[in-house]
Structure formats: structure tokens, C-alpha cells
Amino acid sequence: MKSSSSVLNKSMQRVAKWSSGQADTGNALIHGDNLAVLNMLAKTHAGQVRCVYLDPPYNNGESYQHYFDSMGHEEWLQSVSARLEKIKLLLRTDGSVWISIDDSELHYLKVAADAVFGRGNFVGTIIWERRTTRENRKVLSRNHEYLLVYAKNIATWSKSRNSLPLTDEVKSRYKNLDEDPRGPWQSVSANVQEGHATPQQYYSLKAPNGKLHSPPKGRCWGFSEQRMIEEIAKNNVWFGRDGNAVPRLKQFIANRTAGLTPETLWRADDVGTTSQAKKHLLALFKEISLFDTPKPEHLIQRILQISTDPGDLILDPYLGSGTTAAVAHKMNRSYLGIEIGEHIKTHCTHRLQQVIAGESGGISGLMDWKGGGGFDFYRI
């Protein structure tokens, strides 16, 4: 498959002045109306995008540094729906769409996105804790926003999406109370709900020091008596320090192949806040005016960590200050970022140039980012 850059060269105008670093990497910033660009990409990149992140105007009536976020409700829905229709064409079978939104249009957007991707391909709603301090509002302090997540094909996506690495908190649950040479382990219940139990799962089990144990009412042993004896012989059953406790099964961290299933509540401690994102931008841009509601790099990193692998193509049709492109670059993903505003030159190119130079903020430490790569700048 040809690189994104070589294909774009045939349909758009490359601007060398605003391009930077290594050329023809597949990374591109595109200056233009995103619907027009999406129409062009639908002809050149259909079925190639692994993940799309959208941070559209929320239509919440707020006045921001770069725009006033208010249009008619129907007009807003039609605008977003038209873009989602084009995005669907660009997605790979194992692709997904992540849409940032707040309370103002959340439920209407859900209905509109259902119509495009199908209700059966709705993955879930993620709550992001965007601030940890109380807002000075008259009614309720708004401390969170949402991510609506859709898959192109949920059956395919569910098999291909990535788990999250084990956290320090999860790792701390694994101990080695008996100095087992296989390493740290945690104990889990040896009895289960009876459900479809067989007669072989009901018996009394004698602990090493003589105490008899039977499963509680409504439950049975997870193994037959013969299998349980074998597991005890392998030192896979824990009877407590005194050898008389209710038996529990040992699960070793070394045998844990799967990571953590992503949860729907993303805390600020894990993925950052708007305030932290602003501080990062201030360090990058100095005297350049800031965006009011930037997303932290760790939030986008979490999205791409779950939904993509190195080398995959990422799309952000509302590029804003360039966070998605910066994160994708540091994570060794290819990216297409679309922005109609002139700040794609004053903000986005400047930010990506610093990333190429080895900028140390955001997720750079997490990814051990040292710099490199490049991007091409296009306009239509």
C-alpha cells in the first residue's frame, strides 16, 4: 500500500514551508474544511484508518478564545452526522471512533451516531474527570466530559482491541506468602456458584492441619475432589498460614497473559486534566494564545493504547492544538490531522516541530520519546 503522503500529493497541494522533518512518512497536517477533506480521503483512504478521534464543537453556548460555540441544534447535528458518515467509510474493519462531548449534546449525538454506525456497534460511554477542583457555577460544577466509543464492527474490534497494562495497585495484590519459587501470587475463591454443578463438586475437603471445609449454601467447589487433590499436591491451593483456613486457589502473576480490561471511568490521576493540558501548551507556545479546553496527551494516549498498534493510521478531523498528532507521533502511529483554522500553522506545526526535536512534555517520558520523524503539510 502506498504511503498516505504519496497519495495525498496527487489530490492536495503540499506546502514545503510548513512541512518539517523527514518527508513522506505518512504523517500529514491538512489545512481545509474537514468535510471537504473527508470527501477527498474517502476516495484515497477508504478502509485504512484504525482509529478516529473527534473533538467537535460541543454546541454548549460557551465563548472560547478561538470561537463562539453555538449553532442551531439541528444544524449542529447535521454537521456532525455528515462527518461521521464519511468517517465510517475510512475505518478499517477493526477500527473505532472516539468522540469527545459534554452534557449539552451527548444524548442527541448518541442517537445520531447510532444511526451511522448501528446501535450494535456502540462500545460504551467513557466518563473523563477533566478537572479535580470545583467550578464557580451557579447550579452544578462540571467536573467531567464524555467519550462516545463506536466500532466499525464490534465483533472484530472486541477481539483486536488492546488491554491496559497492569497498574501498580493491581500488581501490589500479588504476594508470596509461602515463598513459592514461581513468584508472587494472589488467592481467589476455590468455590463457585452452583449453577450447572455436577455431583462431583460437592464434598468435604480436609485442610492440611485437619479441619474439614464444605462449600457454603448455594455454592460448590470449582473442581472435582480428584482434581482438587491434584491441585493441592502441586501447591496451587492456599489454606492460610495456619493450614486450616478455607481453601483458596493461587493465581500467579507470571501466568497472567492478559492485561486490564479498560473501565468506563477515567480518573484525572490516570489521564490528566484540562488544566494540565493548558500548562503543557503554555510550555510549548509561550506567547501564543492558548486553547480553552485542550485535551491532555495522556487522555489521547489511553485511547490509542486501547484501539491501535504501532504503525496504524490515526485520523483527527478537528485537530485543534494538535494533541492527537503529537501523541500519535510519539507512539509511532501514522496520522492525518485536519484543521480549518490558521492555527494549524501557528500552533500545530510549531508543536509537531518540537515533537520531532524531542520535546519532553506530555507523554514523552512515558514513551521514552527522544525525537525524530516528520510530517507533510497540505492544503486544499
Tell me which of 255, 274, 293 is where a domain ends. 255
pTM: 0.85
Work out how many domains the chain is built from and give that number.
Answer: 2
Gap between the Cα atoms of 266 and 127, Å rounded:
6
Which domain covers residue 63, as residue numbers?
Answer: 4-163+263-379
Tell me which of 255, 288, 312 is where a domain ends. 255
The string of pLDDT tens digits covering residues 187-245 is 999 999 998 899 999 999 999 999 999 999 999 999 999 999 999 999 999 999 999 99
The reply to whether 251 and 156 lie within a common domain is no
The reply to whether 191 and 306 lie within a common domain is no
Give the position of cell 444511526.
115
The reply to whether 182 and 269 lie within a common domain is no
The reply to whether 239 and 300 lie within a common domain is no
The reply to whether 275 and 364 lie within a common domain is yes
CATH code at 333? 3.40.50.150
Per-residue pLDDT tens, the chain, 380 aa: give them: 455 667 888 889 999 999 999 998 999 999 999 999 999 999 999 999 999 999 999 887 654 454 444 568 889 999 999 999 999 999 999 999 999 999 999 999 999 999 999 999 999 999 999 999 987 777 788 899 999 999 999 999 999 999 999 988 889 999 999 999 999 999 999 999 998 899 999 999 999 999 999 999 999 999 999 999 999 999 999 999 999 999 999 999 999 877 899 999 999 999 999 999 999 999 998 766 667 789 999 999 999 999 999 999 999 999 999 999 999 999 999 999 999 999 999 899 999 999 999 999 999 999 999 999 999 999 99
